[in-house]
Amino acid sequence: MVINYFGNGCFRLQSGETSVLVNPDNNRLKADVTLKTLAATAPDAAAGGDEREGEIVISFAGEYEEKEIEIVGFPVTEESTEKFLKTAYAVMWEGMKFVFLGHLSKPMDATLMEEFSEPDVLFLPVGGGHFLEPEVAAKIAKQLEARIVIPSFYKDPAEFLKAFGKKGEEMDKFVFKQKDIAADRGRAVVLKVN
């Protein structure tokens, strides 16, 4: 598995020929499956994903299976508005659980905490403002007991890492297999923007 970071909340996960893209800022990045954690509501918005040029785009809550990847989107109703819907995702791929909290700005309710517990990799918005404050993000990361925590939407990850009580390993990209992270607990990986 290879994880690249493209800034803000945009990540691409790749395994072999299959890739998942999360929160692309533009159309230049391509993947087999694209997840959006913030979507504009529209009267004709589909209740699930739509396909563009062989690419599956998932913008709303629901259960999906594409390319042997199980995706469950959970609505973040307390943070959604009439204009925008926020969705958090749990993705099961190659026996690993990836959790994307996307545009979260407040602590999650107990149901979501349970659904997202013990992920192999947790993608966590830590920038404050429209996203989780570093202390709140650190608390969520600890409660979820993630093996790997990857921050997003940050200007400087130092505040989050201080609150989390860990030194972050800075990398250009994160390359690993399931067995490589099996013994990890709360390891912080800070990816450089590609």
The answer to whether residue 55 scores a pLDDT higher than 90 is: no
CATH of domain 2-191: 3.60.15.10
Model pLDDT for residues 98-120, shown as the tens digit of each residue: 999 999 999 998 989 999 999 99
Look up residue 64 and give its amino acid: Y
Which class for 82: exposed (0-12), middle (13-18), buried (19 or more C-beta within 10 A)?
exposed
Q: What is the DSSP string of the chain?
A: -EEEE-STT-EEEEETTEEEEES-SSSS---SEEE-SEEE--TT--SSEEEETTEEEE-SSEEEEETTEEEEEEE-GGG--SSEEEEEEEEEETTEEEEE-TT--SPPPHHHHHHT-S-SEEEEE-SSTTS--HHHHHHHHHHHT-SEEEEES-S-THHHHHHHT-PPEEESSEE--HHHHTT-SSEEEEEPB-
Cβ neighbors of 114 (< 8 A, separation 6 or more) are none
Confidence at 52, pLDDT banded by 50, 70, 90: low
| 73, pLDDT greater than 80 | yes
Domain ranges of the chain: 2-191
- Which of the four pLDDT bands, split at 50, 70 and 90, describes residue 137? very high
Per-residue pLDDT band for 42 (boundaries 50, 70, 90) equals: low
| Distance separating alpha carbons of residues 80 and 31, to the nearest angstrom | 26
Which residues, in sequence order, are CB contacts of 140 under 8 Å at separation 6+? Answer: 101, 107, 108, 113, 124, 132
Q: Map tokens 């940050």 to a residue.
A: 154
Mean pLDDT of 13-29: 94
